[in-house]
Structures are given as C-alpha cells and as structure tokens.
Structure 1
C-alpha cells in the first residue's frame, strides 16, 4: 500500500503525471537546453533519471549509438548500487531477474606452468554484511532499461536521444545559455 498513500488511483502508480517540459516534450532536440548529458552509460542514465523528476528543467541525454545498449559492457552490480536502484523503485525487480553472487573465486597463472591458471582463493561474497542487498550479475543493458523506464514514467517523459555524437563545447560566458555545444 505504500504506492497508494493518497488513496487508490486506477493505473500504474509508477507512472507520474506529465508536467512542465513533459507535457509537450518535442521529439527533436531543442536549440536551448538547461542540462545536456552526454552518454547513456550508467552515470549518464542515473543523472538523467534523477533530473527527469524536475519538470521545470529542460534536460536531454544524447548517445552516439543508434539505439539502446543491447549487450552489457559491465555486468557485475555492487550491493551499494542496488541500494541506489531502490531509490528509483526497481531494486526488487532487478534482483528477481539477476544472478546472485554468493562467493568469488580468484585465479592467477600457475607457477609450475604459466600457460595455465589455478584457483588461488575462494571467498564468501559479503561476509561483512555491507548491505541488505546482494551483489548481482545482470546485463548492464537491463539496468539502463530500468533507468529509461523510470525516465519515461517521470513528469518530464524523458527518453534518450540516440544518434547524436558530441563534437565540441564552447563557453561563451554571456547570456542565459553561456555554453554552446556542437553535435
């Protein structure tokens, strides 16, 4: 019932009402933007997801790839990252689809035959209990999908703008928009 603290409303409680720049968000990039985020990696998507909650701020995120990331580039998720996912409302969903790390094995070249590797140690994953959440293995593309879903359901209805490569930046130091970016 935590979703319905103001009474039950029909529909998905994760979808917030469109507001501000999300009411008539143009499909094309506007000439003037308050915040431009370059790159849809984890840092860019997390930043965009956070800023998607502020309908008075025109924020866009660009990516040079033609579309979403299909295959992850870094699939290990630290427990502290899962805590961050909880703040965006998708920790439980990503835990359900991920592989939980219970122990780790460490390997190095075999001193007797350096062409081979040998296991040198095996350790329990989180013996210290650093977080209530586990360490996970999940495709990085799925993590980015969850951030994209959060952004699309936010008041700004933000989504990444694909196919734009950052070329240069010039600081003008005058006017309301003192930075000029060439894409």
Structure 2
C-alpha cells in the first residue's frame, strides 16, 4: 500500500521536470553558452542526451541540415549499442520496430574479377553470446530520434539548433568563454558565438578537427563489400 501525501497524478516518468537552463530555454541560438556540440549525428545526439541531465550546464547543439536526419547512413546496430539504448531507456521500443538479425552473409571483392563482389562467410550473428541484447537493423534516423527525445525530456530540455553550419573557431587564453565560434545560417549569414567548450561531433571530415590543427589518426579503405 502506498500513500501519496499530495495525491497521485499519472504522468510519463521519462519526462523529467525542467530545471536550470531548461526552464524557459531560449529558442534562438544564444551568443554565449557553456558547451557547443557541433553535429547531430550519433556522437552529437548521445552527448546532448547525456548533458540534458545537467541543467546547470548551458548546452547547445548545432546542425548544418535545416531539419532532422531522414535517411541514415549506417543502419546496423550492434548488440553493445542496444545495451546503451537500455541505459537511456528505449531499448525495448526500438527493438520492437527493428529487424532482428540471427545470421549474416558477407560479400567481398571477387579475387577473379575485382569489379564484382561474391558471397563469402555465412556465420551466426552471435555464436559466443556476447550480449543478451539482439543485433538490429533500423534506420539510423530513428536511433537519433530516440536520443533527441531523451535530450528534450531531460531537465535541460536540449533540442538541436538546425540550419547552423560550423565555419571555424579561435581559442583565446582569457575570458569566461574563451572559444569564439563562427557559424553560418542557411541564408549565408555569419555570426560569432562564444563557448567554454566545443565538442566536435561532425564526422570523419570534421571541420572542428581542422580548426584546432589536428588530423585523423588511423587507416581507411575504399573497396566494395556487403553484408
């Protein structure tokens, strides 16, 4: 038996009360912020989802596209990723709408004719039982939708600022907001915003990486294959 001192109101437990910067959150991209996330792909959206639980951190997320992603580029979801979905509370929902993989056929370059691909191995998906969660196929855009929902329902009420492209940044040694970031809207208008931290989640050809003088470490390959 439970007694509710102020009565009981049935509400969605995933929607947490707005706090801090989540209360009356500015709709327009402000001039100053604590954290600026660049890119609303998987890395950017999961960063926003996590930071939505810290309402005293003023976090904004910019994306050059004028709208949400509609068609994903990588729709295979590993079991370990579904474990992450469970941590954010939507593993069951996304599994219900996804296609579950039990075995796979791999296709690689034909050694006799490199312009073609041929079928190779056909293994079970998880023959060693590395996870209790399944391997899924679901549109990457739907995965981002779930992280976006979590970010919006968190106390900080984070939503992407669509239509803002990252142009470049300069880091100063002084001031509360030492990073000056030049951004551009869909009409070509540029402005400078300032942040304490900038998180580059803008992909393999990251402009944020270039702006701080870094290069990508690792190898890349260009060949035809399929699964």
Q: Give me the TM-score of the superposition, normalised by structure 2.
A: 0.74
Aligned to 2:85: 85
Aligned to 1:158: 158
After superposition, where does 1:1-80 map in structure 2 within 5 Å?
9-80=9-80
Aligned to 1:3: none
The root-mean-square deviation of aligned C-alpha atoms, in Å, is: 1.6
Q: State the Cα distance separating 1:118 from its structure 2 match.
A: 3.1
- For residue 32 of structure 2, give the secondary structure of its aligned residue in structure 1: coil
Q: State the Cα distance separating 1:130 from its structure 2 match.
A: 0.8
Q: State the Cα distance separating 1:32 from its structure 2 match.
A: 0.8
CA distance in 2, matches of 1:112, 1:169: 49
Question: How big is each residue's C-alpha offset from its partner over 1:93-133, in whole Å with a ceiling of 9 and x where there is no partner?
Answer: 01111111111112234556666543221100011111110
- For residue 131 of structure 1, give the secondary structure of its aligned residue in structure 2: coil
CA distance in 1, matches of 2:48, 2:178: 21
Aligned to 1:123: 123
- For residue 176 of structure 1, give the secondary structure of its aligned residue in structure 2: coil
Question: How big is each residue's C-alpha offset from its partner over 1:130-175, in whole Å with a ceiling of 9 and x where there is no partner?
Answer: 1110111000000000011111111111100000000111111111
Q: Gaps (5+ residues) in structure 2? A: 1-6, 184-227
CA distance in 1, matches of 2:25, 2:91: 28
Q: State the Cα distance separating 1:16 from its structure 2 match.
A: 0.3
Q: State the Cα distance separating 1:23 from its structure 2 match.
A: 0.6
- For residue 33 of structure 1, give the secondary structure of its aligned residue in structure 2: strand
Matched positions, count: 177
Aligned to 1:178: 178
Distance 1:115 1:47, change over 3 A: closer
Runs of 4 or more above 6 Å deviation: none
